[in-house]
Amino acid sequence: MTRMTDLNTAAPQDTRQYTLSHIESRFTQAGDPYKQLTLDDAKGRIKAYVWERTGLLEQLPHQYPVAVQVQLCERELNHRKIADVLRIHTLDHNEVQNAAMLLAQHDCPAAAQEALLALVHWVEELGALEGTCQTPLRRFMNRVLLDAQIAHNLTTCKSSMKSHHNVPGGHLMHSMDVLQIVTQLAKDRLSPLELAITQMGAFFHDLGKLRVVGSTQTRPEHYKLGSHEQHTLRLLEPHLAWLKPRAPEVAAGLSYILEYLSKPASDRSHALFIAADMVAAADRMSAGFNNGRRLEDLLAKTLPAYSSQPTSSSFKRNQGLQQKGFGKTAVGF
């Protein structure tokens, strides 16, 4: 953990959590050393400077990206605003407030940035859930989102190679779309805890695609080693093991949803926990909207006269989180 060092200043100060993405060593014109930090979060990227007089130059993290809490002082230098680092503190899992906020907007395709902000809002809402599972729910999400195997391409992964949401960022768009749909279906029928578990199942249902689909035209090698549902369970296994003794009902419900979805549809019986059925249905709905399965698409195929009429693009109108109303209704509780 990095030692915290103060620099006295009367200028306005701001303390926030970021992902420290890069450190570059530099020198002033007078030959004095300083370092430029690249700080990322879900709202953007800033450059901040660590000067020799702070005593922090040799105490910065040696490996990055890493979650940090930074106290910044904004001032003018050569007629431009810069941010000086006054204090910096490397965070562990338990100190992170909202790991979704630490995902870099800079790396997130423009089409998925609305979904990223929706994820930040939803994780924030998890912290508002009353009861004994409040802390484990939020900490579980933070642990998963800080996992390097997951955070590395969560915002850039596609949802499929050639089917629905098959663009970089499509995985996040589809995951948040499914989460929104189950929220609308379940919010008046399930308890707050059941709804939270259902939402987590919706968000994580395709997590394994980070390993089997990826962000480029070439599939990762993992796709040969099992289905994306199996990879979902493998990615979440250590985090579910952490969750089980702290919130056994949450771990049981989430595990059941993901294990149910890992079975071929023909082998599934009636779900013991209806959330599994709801996530499966929402998954099909999200994919169907994105693939162009609206009434106008049916009519274009079945009524020859209709197919010659100009129609709006179902793909554009129904692309993931661009559906009307997303973000105006809370996806939380």
* CATH number, position 73: 2.40.50.140
Of 197, 212, 174, which Cα lies nearest the Cα of 257?
197
**Residue where one domain finishes, among candidates 91, 125, 153:** 91
Is 275 found in the same domain as 145?
A: yes
Confidence grade of residue 218 (pLDDT, cut at 50, 70, 90): confident
Is 258 found in the same domain as 166?
A: yes
Instruction: Identify whether 65 is preceded by a cis peptide bond (ω within 30 of 0).
Output: yes
Q: Which of 24-28, 75-79, 133-137 has the lowest mean pLDDT?
A: 133-137
pTM recorded for the entire structure: 0.84
Confidence grade of residue 235 (pLDDT, cut at 50, 70, 90): very high
CATH classification at residue 210: 1.10.3210
Is 178 found in the same domain as 229?
A: yes
CB 68 within 8 A of CB 132: no
Q: Is residue 97 part of a domain?
A: no
Confidence grade of residue 33 (pLDDT, cut at 50, 70, 90): very high
CB 289 within 8 A of CB 323: yes
Domain that holds residue 146: 109-322
CA 322 to CA 317: how far, in whole Å? 7
Is 210 found in the same domain as 72?
A: no
Instruction: Check whether 5 has a pLDDT greater than 60.
Output: no
The predicted pLDDT at position 325 comes to: 42
CA dist list (Å): 234 to 69, 208, 250, 287 = 30, 8, 18, 24
Is 87 found in the same domain as 113?
A: no
Mean pLDDT throughout 18-25?
97
Cβ neighbours of residue 88 closer than 8 Å, sequence gap 6 or more:
2, 4, 50, 56, 59, 60, 68, 69, 70, 71
Q: Is residue 101 part of a domain?
A: no
Of 48, 90, 49, which Cα lies nearest the Cα of 68?
90
Instruction: Check whether 73 has a pLDDT greater than 70.
Output: yes
The predicted pLDDT at position 161 comes to: 79
Q: Is residue 143 part of a domain?
A: yes
Q: Is residue 183 part of a domain?
A: yes
Confidence grade of residue 296 (pLDDT, cut at 50, 70, 90): confident
Confidence grade of residue 81 (pLDDT, cut at 50, 70, 90): confident
With residues binned 3-state (H G I as helix, E B as strand, rest as coil), the percentages for the chain, rounded to 5, are 50, 15, 35
CA 147 to CA 152: how far, in whole Å? 8
Of 188, 194, 182, 153, which Cα lies nearest the Cα of 283?
182
pLDDT tens for each residue of 174-206: 999 999 999 999 888 999 999 999 999 999 999
The predicted pLDDT at position 3 comes to: 36
Is 62 found in the same domain as 163?
A: no
**Residue where one domain finishes, among candidates 46, 65, 91:** 91
Confidence grade of residue 128 (pLDDT, cut at 50, 70, 90): confident
Q: Is residue 291 part of a domain?
A: yes
Is 49 found in the same domain as 123?
A: no
Q: Is residue 328 part of a domain?
A: no
Q: Is residue 98 part of a domain?
A: no
Q: Which of 38-52, 115-129, 290-304 has the lowest mean pLDDT?
A: 290-304
Buried b (16+ CB within 10 A) or exposed e, 275-290: bbebbbebbebbbebb
Of 183, 177, 230, which Cα lies nearest the Cα of 207?
230
pLDDT tens for each residue of 313-328: 433 444 444 444 444 3
**Residue where one domain finishes, among candidates 91, 124, 146:** 91
The predicted pLDDT at position 332 comes to: 39
Question: Considering its fold, how many domains does the chain have in total?
Answer: 2
Is 73 found in the same domain as 196?
A: no
Q: Is residue 1 part of a domain?
A: no
DSSP 8-state symbol, 102: G
